[in-house]
A and B are shown apart, each in its own frame.
Chain A
Amino acid sequence: MSGILALITDGFGGSGGIAQYNRDLIKALTLCPGIERIVVLPRLGEADATVLPAGVRQLKPRRNAAIYSLAAIKAALTQGPFEAVFCGHLHLAPLAGFLASLLGVPLWLQLHGWEAWGVPRRIERQAAERACLITAVSRYTRTRFLAVCGVDPARVRVLPPTVEQSFGRGTRSDELAARYGLRGKRVLLTVGRLDPAERRKGQDHVIRALPGIVARFSDIVYLIVGGGGDKARLEVLARELDVADHVVFAGTVTADELPQLYRLADLFVMPSTQEGFGIVFLEAAASGLRVVGGNSDGSADALADGAIGTLIDPADTAALVRAVTAALGGDGVAPAGAARFRFENFSLHVRELMKQHLLSAAPARAA
């Protein structure tokens, strides 16, 4: 009869990395012995019951914070009994902490990336101190969070994302290659938003490195997948460096097409600086691509400290040129190690974490 109340930003019916993570986690929770029901309350994203795993009930999304809070309280009081509260985002932690106290059950808090790197609000810190288990997507996020929030480090564990089955090796789609003008070319690929405020995926770094890469491989095309307002700046940069002919903007693509786009590429490169983990690295590696990433954020986890791909200082253009040309020339690390991030490992780990930190634990008292 035991159930879990999950407060999340989005999951089933949502899009993006966090939604996928939440879906994986909820699915893994349903596989834990003793867990029979999971009631999910999202801020965004509707899902019809056919896509939900057995035992999961997703309530209507509530965008408005006040209405969301009321809906959460109502769910806590009427949809129970609950054994634990799962909180999928630090910003929801104060509410989740309150509900966990109200129900007298343990709280599990999930951390993703930048939201957990700054000094938390007081109420967020208090909720974190109350949590029996805090999971972070990467060692990097864990370290950053522990630096700003003095919770017991033993309770902060790492639970990396998984990569979806749809990403894998396969034949190149000639139609897509034609659409983007990639026939007969060597393709560098980045998948990530072009956010003008954040500028953290490092596409501009790759463009700066292109002249050096083109000098070695004249048939190179840099395929940039992802939408956002930073495109204009990147176009100007490419023109200034006289590599505009070598850059293709694919914009936002559908989830169905994305696996095929990876298969078009020869090398995935993303010298990012603000990545919580970088699930795209895993998607690329699962697609059989060699991978180059930055060494100063969660990417080091996705690339397993260099076992899955090459880590470079994202600000060092010369190092980027060297890493890319070496990988295109067949040197560097083969991406086979990414298999460690398969769902089975994730799911088993979720089960162990539940057993050790939540099902056996009395709720930690508020500090």
Chain B
Amino acid sequence: MCGIAGIYAYHYAANPIDVMELRNVRDHMAARGPDGCGEWVSADGRVGFGHRRLAIIDLSAEAAQPMASADGSAVIAFNGEIYNYKTLRTGLEAKGRVFRTQSDTEVLLQLYALKGAAMVGDLRGMFAFALWDAARQGLLLARDPYGVKPLYYADDGWTLRFASQVKALFAGGKVDRDPDPAGWAGFFLFGSVPEPYTIHRAVRAVEAGTTLWIDRCGPARPARYFAVSRPLIAADKPARRPAADAGSRVRAALLDSVRHHLVADVPVGLFLSSGIDSGALLGLMRDAGQRDVEAITLRYDEFRGGDDDEAPLAALTARHYGARHTIRTVTREEFRADLPKIFAAMDQPTIDGINTWFVAKAARERGLKAALSGLGGDELVGGYPSFRDIPRWVRLTWLSRFVPFLNAMVRRAIAVLNGAMPLLHPKAAGFLQYANNYSGAYLLRRGVFMPWELGGLMDGEFMREGLRRLDPVKHIAAVLEPEPKSAWSKVAALEAGLYLRNQLLRDTDWAGMAHSLEVRVPFVDVALLQAVAVDFAALPRGAGKALIADSPSVALPPQIQNRAKTGFSTPIAQWLQDDERVRAWQDVPRLRSANCPWARRWAYQIAQA
């Protein structure tokens, strides 16, 4: 788990790369890789990679990066973990390939030599890498299927620059910072910046599940090798296995995923909450044979002794499975002191991630370099309210599909009335117009602001341009390409392809890496999804969680299983409301109304930071 950077002067008119620029970009990411750094520049000076290392697999110097293949035909800079690298290695060795290191990095080089870019389909893990193919004189950028690991690039038409973080690209001094209207509109609509946009026009994300080939003509069109909707379409097939053995299938698949996610040459800890997902992970870690587990739970002073205090139930789970348990208390004072650092570490604007910041900080204090997180459990089993609401809304409003003009008029009328006297939730105005299809309904369900509310937050022309370029409903619909049949699978694809990818995984990355902590997410795993989607899709809502709770050989304590899902809450919203540094939202009339959701104020505040 590391930080990667590179420059490729692909155009004949471009100057050779500037090694100082490369180092500045790389070292801006020192927190991503505190254990070492390396660089490689091609003999002709046209391409160079930088790497910051957080050593987790094969801690030796031989595994340092950038790493070249034995014959020099390929060089790689890699961020992430390949959980099935041992299996891949065995297969490669059987084909006669000889390895020099014990690292997963070398497996990537050898696999590329054998299969080219198609190799990404064989990888199980989280990754973002850059690979220089000397024979074809081209650069391959690749990102894992879900987008756990980030990768951004800036192409000015002569030279392509890439890095694990947007802010690092600017540290080189050669990338334009002009704002991207689509990125900003996306941030206000979703609360995070949707791929492939960033808030800077010059910088784009290599999208999750795609590879990008760059040769002397520049970047080709991204090639998609994975769409989350595909395994979900497979789960829609009517030949459903009897639900009776769903439990054993889920158990086996989850244990398999956890086992893979524990592959490391350093101890792997756990973020433990009072909920089912992280608790089940702990039980499965024991089942996978991990004797010594360090579990970390956050406690907020304000919640001590109340229903929202996660510590007592988390402690119960920890005792249940015999884990070493650290309860880390976060106070308002610490939060106040950390807020500027949080803003500095936040790579792209996001309304979330602060909780991860503190739990990662606590894990690092305990000496951990890697930890599992229960992130993605709700996407896997259909645990969000959206799995219920979105199909219902689409059914309710299906007639409105035939009168699009009327819907827009209704939306405007309600918005005007609501402006005079706020009786309805601001999103209600768009119900008829948006809720009659899955993409629109998703925007209604997950949106922070609605498209018609962006005036006042963004400059008029900039906003119109942003909405035109992003085309939010179309952007959402692209996740449903190809489109699953069942309602459950559609919502699962939307949640995994948008909220999980753009919000949860991004926040986990920046907030974790700021503390040099690799966060691993066993619920976010293609093999797991392929194995169990058919079961979760068939189960009634809520029953999926019970399967998760029962998946360890020793089931979770009943207190955890029976705990009503309160939603995850922190006092952070209150702390922010009380913070005199967080006042910019008061300048916007719409945000001052008493019933304005906090997320809206916070989104505006982030945008001003």
- Residues of A with Cβ closer than 8 Å to B? 136, 138-139, 142-143, 146-147, 150, 153-154, 156-158, 160, 301, 304-305, 307, 340-341, 345, 348-349, 352-353, 356-357
Contacts and interface: CB of A to CB of B under 8 A. Distances in A.
Contacts of B220: 154, 356
Given A136-B157, A139-B156, A150-B469, A158 B11 contact: yes
A83 B202 CA distance: 32
6 contacts: A136-B157, A142-B157, A150-B468, A301-B158, A348-B12, A353-B217
Contact of B13 (A153, A301, A353): A301
Given A150-B468, A153-B204, A143 B176 contact: yes
Given A147-B178, A150-B468, A150-B469, A157 B157 contact: yes
Contact of A150 (B155, B158, B182, B218): B182
Contact of A341 (B13, B204, B217): B13
Given A139-B157, A150-B182, A356 B217 contact: yes
B287 interface: no
A301 B219 CA distance: 19
Contact of A139 (B158, B182, B217, B222): B158
Contacts of B469: 150
B12 A157 contact: no
A154 B218 contact: yes
Contacts of A154: 155, 218-222
A304 B15 contact: yes
A213 B204 CA distance: 45
A349 B219 contact: no
The 6 nearest A-B residue pairs measured at CB: A158-B157, A150-B469, A139-B157, A345-B12, A142-B157, A352-B217
Nearest to B214: A154
Given A160-B13, A349-B12, A352-B216, 20 more contacts: A136-B157, A142-B156, A143-B157, A143-B202, A147-B178, A150-B182, A153-B155, A153-B204, A157-B218, A158-B11, A304-B13, A305-B15, A341-B13, A345-B12, A345-B13, A348-B12, A352-B217, A353-B217, A356-B217, A357-B217
Contacts of A139: 156-158
Nearest to B465: A150
Contacts of A307: 15
A158 B10 CA distance: 11
Nearest to A138: B157
A156 B157 contact: yes
A304 B18 CA distance: 13
Interface string B199-227: 00110100000000001111111100000
Contacts of A305: 15
A352 B136 CA distance: 14
A356 B158 CA distance: 17
Contacts of B219: 154
B201 A146 contact: yes
Nearest to A304: B15
Contacts of A345: 12-13
A323 B592 CA distance: 55
Interface in B11-51: 11-15
A65 B277 CA distance: 68
Contacts of A142: 156-157
Nearest to B212: A154
A158 B201 contact: no
B199 to A, nearest CB: 14
**Per DSSP, are chain A's interface residues mostly helix, strand or loop, or mixed?**
helix
B217 A143 contact: no
Contacts of A349: 11-12, 216-217
A357 B218 CA distance: 11
B151 to A, nearest CB: 15
Query: How many B residues touch the partner, as a band?
Result: 20 to 34
A341 B15 CA distance: 12
Contacts of A136: 157
B179 to A, nearest CB: 10
A156 B155 CA distance: 10
B190 to A, nearest CB: 18
B578 to A, nearest CB: 40
B501 to A, nearest CB: 20
Contacts of B13: 158, 160, 301, 304, 340-341, 345
A264 to B, nearest CB: 28
Interface in B444-490: 465, 468-469
Contacts of A341: 13
Contacts of B155: 153-154
Interface string B280-291: 000000000000
A354 B15 CA distance: 24
A352 B218 CA distance: 10
A17 B546 CA distance: 72
A349 B182 CA distance: 31
A305 B12 CA distance: 14
A252 to B, nearest CB: 30
Contacts of A340: 12-13
Contacts of B217: 157, 349, 352-353, 356-357
Nearest to B157: A158
B201 A147 contact: yes
Nearest to B219: A154
Contacts of A353: 217
A39 B56 CA distance: 61
Given A340-B12, A353-B217, A143 B156 contact: yes
Nearest to A150: B469
Contacts of A157: 157, 217-218
A28 to B, nearest CB: 13
A157 B201 CA distance: 16
B465 to A, nearest CB: 7
A361 to B, nearest CB: 9
Contacts of B222: 154
**Most central of A138, A158, A307 by chain B CB within 10 Å:** A158
A300 to B, nearest CB: 10
A136 B157 CA distance: 9
Contacts of B11: 158, 349
A34 B217 CA distance: 19
B207 to A, nearest CB: 12
A143 B12 CA distance: 19
Nearest to B204: A153
A141 to B, nearest CB: 9
Nearest to A355: B217
A297 B11 CA distance: 19
Contacts of A158: 11, 13, 157-158, 218
A353 B217 CA distance: 6
B15 to A, nearest CB: 5
B119 to A, nearest CB: 22
Contacts of A138: 157
Contacts of A356: 217, 220
Nearest to B213: A356
A157 B158 CA distance: 8
A348 B217 CA distance: 10
A108 B364 CA distance: 54
A332 B157 CA distance: 26
A230 to B, nearest CB: 31
B136 to A, nearest CB: 13
Nearest to A306: B15
Contacts of B178: 147
A271 B11 CA distance: 25
Interface in B160-196: 176, 178, 182
Contacts of A301: 13, 158
Contacts of B158: 139, 158, 301
Nearest to A143: B176
B117 to A, nearest CB: 15
A209 to B, nearest CB: 27
A340 B218 CA distance: 17
B365 to A, nearest CB: 42
